[in-house]
Amino acid sequence: MTPRAPRSTRPVRITWLGHSAFRFDTPGGKIIYVDPWLENPKAPPGAASAAAADLIFLTHGHADHLGNTVDLARRTGAPVYAIYEVALYLQSRGVSNAVGMNISGTVTIDGVSATMTDARHSGGIDVGEGTPGGQGMLGGAVAAGFVFRLENGYTVYHAGDTGLFGDMKLIGELYRPALVILPIGGLYTMGPREAARACVLLKPKLILGMHYGTFPVLAGTPAELKRALPPTLRSRVRSIEPGESLDIQ
């Protein structure tokens, strides 16, 4: 019988970089960026000059998510995974290793897998000439989320910009995300009330809010999310400031 590889003792480190931008440091030593708008108003100093990245994931083409993707990918050589049409746009901007995928597709890279999930939001590229970032069945643009399974089996669901939708229950049942990262700001995405309902459907062990506080109109807060949750889920909410990290062993 082939012996199992030793389980990494390195924690999963989740660093919030403001708005919807996150850096994941994985148990296998990879650096993953999601929606790297690293010059957002809440970004920690120096975020945009990140020296290393192994993988970049982009949920949709809006400027507050696409952000510094082109520069980060060119500088580090990290491949970018995005909805197919957004990947084509990135290729047109000189990101030669932009990889297109679509809803329910999964990529696996050196022990890390990422499955693209549905999201209810527009997603057209709103910079430059406004190239559509993926046209949906009803003529709206496609946005997405991602479920990541890291080298040690830990699962993280970054929902992207989204409203509440019933198939979050299926995401919970299929992928069993231990940590969910949900938008709570309101106006453009779910607010705390809707995000609380999403948590009921997903049944995570830990909950992080995002896409709030960047601008005054994104007024939802983690405290409001906690109040809206059933009592059994309230203790699962974690609140970190931009630049702070959550370590999960």
Q: Please state, in angstroms and rounded to a whole number, the distance separating the CA atoms of residues 122 and 129.
A: 17
Higher pLDDT, 140 or 77: 77
The average confidence (pLDDT) of the chain is 91
pTM of the model: 0.92
Average pLDDT over residues 183-195: 97
Higher pLDDT, 234 or 141: 234
- Residue-wise pLDDT for 6-43, tens only, equals 455 789 999 999 999 999 999 999 999 999 999 999 99
Contacts of 108 (CB under 8 A, 6+ apart): 114
DSSP 3-state of 96: coil
Q: Please state, in angstroms and rounded to a whole number, the distance separating the CA atoms of residues 109 and 10.
A: 19
- Bridge partners of 209, per DSSP, are 182
Determine the pLDDT at residue 2: 41
- Residue-wise pLDDT for 88-130, tens only, equals 999 999 999 999 999 999 999 999 999 999 999 987 776 654 4
Of the candidates 237, 218, 217, which has an alpha carbon nearest to the alpha carbon of residue 227? 237
Higher pLDDT, 206 or 137: 206
The structural domains of the chain, with segments of one domain joined by +, span 12-240
Q: What fold characterizes domain 12-240?
A: Metallo-beta-lactamase; Chain A (3.60.15)
Check pLDDT > 60 for residue 139.
no
